[in-house]
């Protein structure tokens, strides 16, 4: 039994150390068979079976001892003996022993070995042979299994190589990496994995170059076209996928800065527009939005100051309107009073929403003849032709076709500059012309403009004053092919709260000896030439007005006329200078603010040395704050302030303007 136990342990060890699960299961089956045989041996050794004893006795008798009686057959009948042929008896020699069932004898013999040769030893030998055969079979199976595994590994490597190549071609880098990783696990020395890794790196680099090249180019194109949102989205695609792109990061920062600048400029423009239209609540809301989005922006403080000043000014204007209203009401005698009418006209402009002033104005205008268009006349020209001096023509809302020519002193009133429009084709003529006989004419609440554009050298102005004295209030002159308002031939214009914008040359041009303008609270913006231009003898006084975003200068003074006065004007964002004084005989330029102009704040040539320049603020311009031509003394400009201009060029002396620039 000790040998059996040792044999069993060797089989169990084979189960535990088998190279794989398949071989281990085979050894386990053998171990189970061994345990069954061993259990049978133990059972035979531990008990004596009577039946076995009888068989042993019978086997001994068969070898020469006394034969036992045959056991009764199972079917209860004795088996008949069959006589043996005679010839066979002779050949067989002595008389044989009684017939015996060979298979039964062998079985009985196996169970009835003598005590010196136990049956268990034969069984052990048999089991040992079986074990050796199983071991040999297992070894052969293991060898075949190893060969099969090698074949499967080669087949798997071939598949993975093809898979990795296809994934690289399809730019599916994760799947390709997994394929080459498995190749490395199956064959750590494989060149296939090394080459595959290199192909992945090269492919990823190429993909990155293509992706970055396309989207960064798209971002740059959109940026240059001014489509900032689209540019930012394209740049963001690159940065989301490849965050370390330095050039794209720099471009994205530029785009964001431009977007921020555009948003800021939009808020500034919206606030400024609300200020100009005296919508103070809207202006304050936009200014607050600007301050919230761009903390510390100095423009926000400037706009808030303008709003406060505007509110205060409006309050003063309303108070002044009430004074004028009271004075006109005291003069009302039921007859025409030109002076009282002038007071009421000004009161109406200062407080257009005051119903009492409007009612008195309507009453006193009825003392003169009032012509209604439409109503009394279907066209404006018909009304003008029928009018006499001191008549009033009331023009309703709508667009009226010009040109109109006024040659009498009348009052021409529209429903508001955004409501009553007089226009004409740019190539035809001016929209309105006031000749010498129209002196004393007053015009209010009308827009004069051109349709279309005339690129020729001799372009018409939208509004022309020739040798007459005309008063303009709350009018708009826009979209002209030439100048907006042209004053010539000793014409004189007094304008209050008028807008001159988007004209092909200057917003206001005053030319010739004796020609003069008196402008107050007017604005010249977006003109292709200068905002306000005094030249060839024309002069003017411009106060509390704005000239911004013009392609030329804000104000150009180039005249030999007397008494040029520019005071407290805001000149900003022009593509040349805020103020340029080329020439001047006498006058004063004071208290003006020139800021954020492209070429500089204020430029003075030697021919304008007789003008006085006092207390002007020149700041944040993209060129020098104050540029003085050779021969001018800096000390003569000591009261002016130049700060924060580009490159620290606050004051430049000995400038050479000989080129005319």
The lowest-confidence range among 179-188, 211-220, 314-323, 369-378 is 179-188
Residue 49 has pLDDT above 90, yes or no: no
Mean pLDDT computed over every residue of the chain: 83
Strands 651-655 and 626-629 come out as parallel
Tokens linked to 423: 């226009």
Name residue, tokens 């050298």: 457
pTM of the shown model = 0.54
Name residue, tokens 């007094």: 494
pLDDT in tens, 472-496: 999 999 999 999 999 999 999 999 9
pLDDT at 365: 78
Question: What SS3 string covers 401-469?
Answer: ECCEEECCCCEEECCCCCCEEEEEECCCCCCEEECHHHCCEEEECCEEEEECCCCCCCCCCCEEEECCE
The lowest-confidence range among 34-48, 133-147, 243-257, 530-544 is 133-147
Question: Cα separation of 209 and 222, whole Å?
Answer: 20
For the beta sheet containing 447-451, the strands, ordered from the edge strand earlier in sequence to the opposite edge, are 398-401, 420-425, 447-451, 476-478, 499-501, 523-525, 546-548, 570-572, 593-595, 617-619, 641-643
The lowest-confidence range among 34-38, 108-112, 514-518, 617-621 is 108-112
| Helical axes 228-241 vs 191-224, angle rounded to 10° | 170
pLDDT in tens, 7-29: 777 777 766 666 655 566 666 66
Residue 387 has pLDDT above 50, yes or no: yes
| Helical axes 191-224 vs 246-276, angle rounded to 10° | 20
451 vs 348, higher pLDDT: 451
Q: Domain spans of the chain?
A: 1-47, 296-367, 421-655
Question: Cα separation of 275 and 283, whole Å?
Answer: 6
The lowest-confidence range among 133-142, 239-248, 335-344 is 133-142
pLDDT in tens, 393-448: 999 999 999 999 999 999 999 999 999 999 999 999 999 999 999 999 999 999 99
pLDDT in tens, 528-550: 999 999 999 999 999 999 999 99
For the beta sheet containing 441-444, the strands, ordered from the edge strand earlier in sequence to the opposite edge, are 370-373, 392-395, 411-413, 441-444, 469-473, 492-496, 516-520, 539-543, 564-567, 587-590, 612-614
Q: Which long-range contacts (CB under 8 A, 24 or more apart) does 606-609 make?
A: 606/630, 606/631, 606/632, 607/582, 607/583, 608/557, 608/581, 608/582, 608/583, 608/584, 609/636
Query: pLDDT class for 636, splitting at 50, 70, 90?
Result: very high
Beta strands in 202-270 (DSSP E): none
pLDDT at 61: 52
């Amino acid at each position: 039994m000790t040998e059996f136990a040792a044999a069993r342990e060797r089989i169990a060890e084979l189960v535990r150390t088998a190279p794989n699960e398949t071989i281990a299961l085979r050894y386990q089956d053998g171990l189970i068979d061994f345990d069954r045989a061993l259990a049978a041996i133990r059972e035979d050794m531990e008990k004596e079976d009577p039946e076995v004893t009888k068989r042993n006795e019978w086997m001994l008798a068969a070898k020469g001892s006394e034969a036992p009686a045959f056991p009764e057959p199972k079917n209860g009948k004795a088996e008949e003996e069959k006589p043996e042929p005679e010839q066979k008896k002779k050949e067989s020699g002595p008389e044989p022993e009684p017939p015996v069932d060979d298979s039964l004898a062998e079985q009985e013999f196996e169970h009835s070995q003598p005590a010196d040769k136990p049956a268990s030893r034969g069984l052990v030998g048999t089991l040992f042979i079986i074990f050796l055969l199983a071991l040999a079979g297992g070894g052969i199976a293991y060898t075949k299994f190893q060969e099969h595994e090698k074949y499967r590994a080669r087949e798997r490597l071939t598949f993975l190589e093809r898979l990795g190549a296809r994934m690289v071609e399809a730019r599916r880098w994760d799947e390709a990496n997994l394929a080459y990783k498995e190749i490395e696990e199956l064959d750590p020395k494989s060149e296939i994995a090394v080459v595959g890794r290199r192909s992945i790196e090269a492919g990823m680099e190429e993909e990155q170059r293509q992706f970055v090249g396309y989207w960064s180019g798209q971002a740059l194109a959109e940026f240059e076209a001014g489509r900032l949102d689209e540019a930012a989205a394209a740049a963001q695609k690159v940065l989301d996928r490849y965050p370390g792109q330095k050039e794209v990061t720099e471009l994205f920062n530029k785009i964001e800065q431009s977007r921020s600048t555009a948003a800021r400029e939009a808020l500034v423009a919206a606030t400024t527009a609300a200020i100009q239209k005296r919508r103070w609540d809207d202006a304050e809301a936009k200014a607050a939005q600007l301050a919230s989005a761009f903390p510390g922006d100095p423009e926000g403080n400037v706009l808030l100051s303008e709003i406060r000043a505007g509110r205060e000014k409006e309050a003063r204007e309303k108070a002044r309107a009430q004074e004028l209203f009271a004075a006109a009401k005291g003069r009302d005698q039921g007859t025409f009073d030109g002076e009282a009418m002038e007071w009421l006209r000004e009161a109406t402009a200062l407080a257009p929403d005051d119903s009492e002033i409007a009612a008195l104005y309507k009453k006193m205008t009825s003392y003169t003849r009032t012509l209604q268009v439409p109503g009394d006349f279907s066209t404006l020209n018909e009304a003008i032709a029928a009018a006499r001096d001191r008549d009033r023509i009331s023009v309703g809302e709508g667009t009226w076709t010009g040109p109109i020519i006024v040659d009498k002193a009348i009052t021409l009133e529209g429903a508001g500059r955004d409501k009553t429009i007089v226009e004409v084709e740019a190539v035809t003529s001016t929209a309105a012309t006031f000749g010498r006989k129209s002196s004393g004419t007053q015009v209010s609440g009308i827009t004069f403009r051109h349709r279309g554009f005339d690129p020729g050298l001799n372009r018409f102005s939208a509004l022309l004053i020739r040798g007459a004295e005309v008063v303009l209030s709350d009018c708009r002159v826009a979209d002209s092919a030439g100048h907006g308002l042209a004053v010539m031939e000793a014409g004189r214009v007094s304008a209050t709260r008028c807008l001159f914008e988007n004209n092909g040359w200057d917003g206001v041009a005053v030319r010739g000896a004796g020609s003069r303008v008196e402008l107050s609270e007017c604005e010249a913006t977006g003109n292709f030439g200068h905002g306000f231009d005094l030249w060839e003898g024309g002069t003017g006084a411009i106060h509390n007005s704005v000239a911004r975003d013009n392609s030329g200068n804000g104000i150009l003074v180039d005249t030999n006329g007397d008494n040029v006065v520019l005071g407290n004007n805001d000149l900003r964002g022009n593509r040349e200078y805020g103020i340029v004084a080329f020439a001047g005989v006498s006058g004063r330029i004071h208290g003006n603010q020139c800021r954020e102009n492209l070429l500089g704040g204020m430029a003075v040539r030697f021919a304008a040395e007789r003008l006085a320049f006092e207390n002007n603020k020149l700041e944040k311009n993209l060129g020098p704050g104050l540029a003085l031509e050779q021969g001018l003394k800096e000390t003569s400009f000591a009261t002016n302030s130049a700060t924060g201009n580009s490159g620290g060029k606050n004051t430049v002396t000995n400038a050479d303007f000989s080129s005319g620039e």
